[in-house]
C-alpha cells in the first residue's frame, strides 16, 4: 500500500525548484549536497502529495510535466519572496554579528576601555563597538548587550563570567584644594574638610578586608557633617575634585589618571571588577574573540588597576604639535 503524504513541508518545494531550475536530478543533488536516490525519493513524496506527476525523463535530464509547470508558476512568487527574505535576514544578521555591545562604568570606559579600542580594532578590523557608559546596572536582555564590565556586585543571575580585577578606592583632592586646606593626617580629621557627595552615594560599598570598614565609617560620618556638594552620576565626583571642591572617595587608578593627589594613602577599600556575558554570546566567533581580548587585557593591567603604578602620558605625535 502506497504511503500518503498528509502534509507537504516547505523543504519538498525547495527541492522541487532546484530540480526544475537545473533540469537534472543528478546536478540538483550535487547542489543540495544529498544523494540522487534520496532526492528522487523526496520528489516522489511531493508527487504523492499533489496527486500528479511533476517530471518526466528526457535524454537531457528531466522536463516538467504540465502539472509541474503549473506548480512552478503558481509558487514562483512565493519562492522569490522567500529568497528575498533569506537575503535580507543574512544581511541583518551579518550586520549585528559585527557589532559588540558593552556596558561599563564611566571610569572604566574613559580610563581603561577606550584606550584599548584601537588595539582591538588592529586585532580584528571587523568589530564595531557600541559602548554604554553608565554606573547603573544595565538589563542585558532588554539592552541586547554582549558584555557587562561591572564594579562591585556581579548582579544578574543569567550572566556568566569571572572576576578580572580588584580596584582600590581612596580619598583624593586637587593640589589647589590641599594648598588651601592641609591634608588630613588621620581619619578623624576628615570631619574638618569639605566632602564631595553624601553618605547615601556610597551605601553599596563594603570593605572586603579587615580594617577597610574603618575608612568607610569615617568617610560616611564626615559626609554627613561636611558634604558640600552632591552631583550625579558619581563619575562627576572626579570632575568636582579636580575643581578643588573638596575630598572625594574615588577609584585609585582613575583618580591618579586625572592628576589628583591621594591623601591618607594607607587607608583604602576595594571593589571587584567583573567581566560578564550571556551564555548565548559564545555562539558568535567575533564575540568569543572580543571576550578573550578583554580577559587578556585585564590580566595585563592588573598592576595598573590596583593603583601600583601611576599612568604614563602617551607621547605626543608630531601631527599633534
Question: Cell numbers 588592529 label which residue?
Answer: 122
Q: CA-to-CA distance for 75 and 56, rounded, in angstroms?
A: 20
- Tens digit of pLDDT for each residue in 72-83? 887 777 777 776
Q: Which CATH architecture has domain 10-95?
A: Orthogonal Bundle (1.10)
Phi-psi region of 23 (alpha: psi -120 to 50; beta: other; left: phi over 0): left
Domain 167-270 has CATH 3.20.20.70: no
pTM above 0.85, yes or no: no
* pLDDT at 71 > cutoff 90: no
Q: Containing H/E element for 234?
A: none
More confident residue, 232 or 165: 165
Percent of the chain with pLDDT over 90: 44
DSSP 247: B
Mean pLDDT on 168-173: 94
Q: CA-to-CA distance for 198 and 221, rounded, in angstroms?
A: 10
CA angle 180, 107, 191 (to 5 degrees): 35
- Tens digit of pLDDT for each residue in 4-16? 444 557 788 888 9
More confident residue, 157 or 194: 194
Q: CA-to-CA distance for 120 and 111, rounded, in angstroms?
A: 15
* pLDDT at 69 > cutoff 60: yes
Helices (H), the chain: 10-22, 25-32, 36-50, 66-97, 106-108, 117-123, 140-143, 175-180, 212-226, 236-242, 252-257, 285-300, 302-305
Which of 39-43, 66-70, 264-268, 307-311 is least confident? Answer: 307-311
Q: CA-to-CA distance for 251 and 149, rounded, in angstroms?
A: 15
* pLDDT at 318 > cutoff 80: no
Which of 47-61, 126-140, 163-177, 280-294 is least confident? Answer: 126-140
Mean pLDDT on 167-192: 94
- Tens digit of pLDDT for each residue in 183-221? 999 999 999 999 998 877 766 555 444 455 788 889 989
Q: Containing H/E element for 268?
A: none
Q: CA-to-CA distance for 125 and 128, rounded, in angstroms?
A: 8
99-165+272-301: CATH topology: D-Maltodextrin-Binding Protein; domain 2 (3.40.190)
The structural domains of the chain, with segments of one domain joined by +, span 10-95, 99-165+272-301, 167-270
For the chain, count helices (H), then strands (E).
13, 11
**Domains 99-165+272-301 and 167-270 alike in fold:** yes
Query: What is the pLDDT of the chain when averaged over all its residues?
Result: 83
- Tens digit of pLDDT for each residue in 82-139? 766 666 655 554 545 688 999 998 999 999 999 999 999 999 888 889 999 876 555 5
For residue 262, give the C-alpha cell: 591621594
Amino acid at each position: 500500500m502506497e504511503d500518503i503524504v498528509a502534509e507537504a513541508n516547505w523543504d519538498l518545494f525547495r527541492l522541487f525548484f532546484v530540480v526544475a531550475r537545473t533540469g537534472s536530478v543528478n546536478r540538483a543533488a550535487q547542489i543540495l549536497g544529498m544523494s540522487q536516490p534520496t532526492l528522487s525519493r523526496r520528489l516522489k513524496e511531493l508527487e504523492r502529495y499533489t496527486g500528479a506527476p511533476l517530471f518526466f525523463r528526457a535524454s537531457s535530464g528531466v522536463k516538467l510535466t504540465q502539472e509541474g509547470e503549473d506548480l512552478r508558476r503558481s509558487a514562483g512568487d512565493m519562492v522569490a519572496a522567500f529568497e528575498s527574505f533569506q537575503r535580507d535576514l543574512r544581511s541583518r544578521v551579518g550586520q549585528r554579528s559585527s557589532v559588540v555591545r558593552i556596558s561599563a562604568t564611566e571610569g572604566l570606559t574613559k580610563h581603561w576601555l577606550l584606550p584599548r579600542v584601537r588595539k582591538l580594532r588592529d586585532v580584528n578590523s571587523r568589530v564595531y563597538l557600541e559602548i554604554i557608559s553608565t554606573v547603573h546596572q544595565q538589563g542585558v536582555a532588554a539592552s541586547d548587550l554582549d558584555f557587562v564590565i561591572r564594579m562591585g556586585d556581579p548582579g544578574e543571575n543569567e550572566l556568566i563570567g569571572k572576576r578580572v580585577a580588584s580596584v582600590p578606592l581612596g580619598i583624593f583632592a586637587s593640589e589647589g584644594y590641599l594648598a588651601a586646606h592641609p591634608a588630613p593626617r588621620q581619619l578623624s580629621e576628615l570631619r574638618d574638610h569639605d566632602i564631595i557627595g553624601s553618605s547615601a552615594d556610597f551605601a553599596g560599598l563594603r570593605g572586603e578586608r579587615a580594617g577597610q570598614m574603618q575608612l568607610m565609617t569615617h568617610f560616611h560620618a564626615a559626609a554627613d557633617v561636611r558634604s558640600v556638594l552632591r552631583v550625579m552620576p558619581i563619575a562627576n565626583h572626579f570632575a568636582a575634585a579636580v575643581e578643588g571642591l573638596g575630598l572625594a572617595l574615588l577609584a585609585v587608578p582613575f583618580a591618579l589618571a586625572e592628576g589628583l593627589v591621594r591623601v591618607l594613602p594607607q587607608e583604602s577599600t576595594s571593589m571587584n571588577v567583573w567581566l560578564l556575558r550571556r551564555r548565548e554570546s559564545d555562539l558568535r566567533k567575533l564575540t568569543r574573540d572580543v571576550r578573550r581580548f578583554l580577559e587578556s587585557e585585564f590580566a595585563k593591567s592588573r598592576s595598573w588597576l590596583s593603583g601600583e603604578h601611576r599612568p604614563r602620558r602617551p607621547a605626543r605625535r608630531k601631527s599633534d604639535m
